Amino acid sequence: QKEVEQNSGPLSVPEGAIASLNCTYSDRGSQSFFWYRQYSGKSPELIMFIYSNGDKEDGRFTAQLNKASQYVSLLIRDSQPSDSATYLCGSSGGGADGLTFGKGTHLIIQP
Amino acid sequence: GAVVSQHPSWVICKSGTSVKIECRSLDFQATTMFWYRQFPKQSLMLMATSNEGSKATYEQGVEKDKFLINHASLTLSTLTVTSAHPEDSSFYICSARRDGGEMEFFGPGTRLTVL
């Protein structure tokens, strides 16, 4: 069974610091990985996706993938209070598969 | 852009009634759409994969006769919760994938409350 594990938190980070969110997955066949941000009562919004080993940067966000360790992370630089949300890690086996999500990490950025 | 809409955004119904939720991709065609359900403080759970022109594929434990899915066009999928009961109260979210793409774009969700 495909599983994605995340620490539910809450993870508290001071404003301006780097927030580090981690995720592990069980299915070695997973090919693509996604980070979504979800505010309370709202639908998830895509932040980044990654499918190659290494780092991928987009503005303040950096996604990291290590397929050997089955580990995905998201770094948020210069954290802002508006970054406070639940961050969902999702994996896809490619093709017509839907995403398998972790339970999400609740991030709190303290002003 | 990649905009996905859902209608209604919320619905309250009596136990035993059926509720239809629409999911539309507004500016792109989506051969594949997905239906998720999220209970409070839980993650999104994939319910089914909706394929245009063919039968939906349901995840283990999801009753296909209770959650009817119709993907009649490349921009519209509907989920009908038949004979809804209070335990079906949840946040139902659809997503759509561009043809040939991997990213899923989520709709705003539909909050269903069954009394």
| Separation in Å, CA of A42 to nearest CA in chain B | 7
From B114, B4, B24, select the one nearest B70 (Cα to Cα): B24
Contact A39, A47 (CB under 8 A): no
Residues in CB range of A22: below 8 A, 6 or more apart: A6, A7, A71, A72, A73, A105
**What tens-digit pLDDT sequence spans chain B (115 residues)?**
689 999 999 999 999 999 999 999 999 998 899 999 999 888 889 999 998 888 899 999 999 999 999 998 899 999 999 999 999 999 999 999 887 777 889 999 999 999 9
User: Which pLDDT value is given to residue B93?
Assistant: 96
Q: How many CB atoms lie within 10 A of CB B102?
A: 16
List the 4-43 stretch of B: residues with Cβ below 8 A of A.
Answer: 32, 34, 36, 42-43
Which residue has 């509720």 as its token pair?
B19
| Separation in Å, CA of B109 to nearest CA in chain A | 6
Q: How confident is the model at residue A73 (pLDDT cuts 50, 70, 90)?
A: very high
- State whether residue A92 is helix, strand or coil: strand
User: Which pLDDT value is given to residue A96?
Assistant: 72
User: Which pLDDT value is given to residue A94?
Assistant: 72
Q: Is the peptide bond before B8 cis (omega within 30 degrees of 0)?
A: yes
Q: What spatial distance separates the first Cα and last Cα of chain B, rounded to whole Å?
A: 37
- Whether residue B92 lies within 8 A of chain A, CB to CB, comes out as no
Tell me if B102 and A99 make a contact (CB, 8 A cut-off). Answer: no
Contact B115, B12 (CB under 8 A): yes
User: Which pLDDT value is given to residue A105?
Assistant: 96
Structure token pair of residue B96: 């759509």
**pLDDT of A24-69, one tens digit each?**
999 998 989 999 999 998 999 999 999 999 999 999 999 999 999 9
Q: How far is CA A7 from the centre of its chain?
A: 11
Which residue has 């409350």 as its token pair?
B113
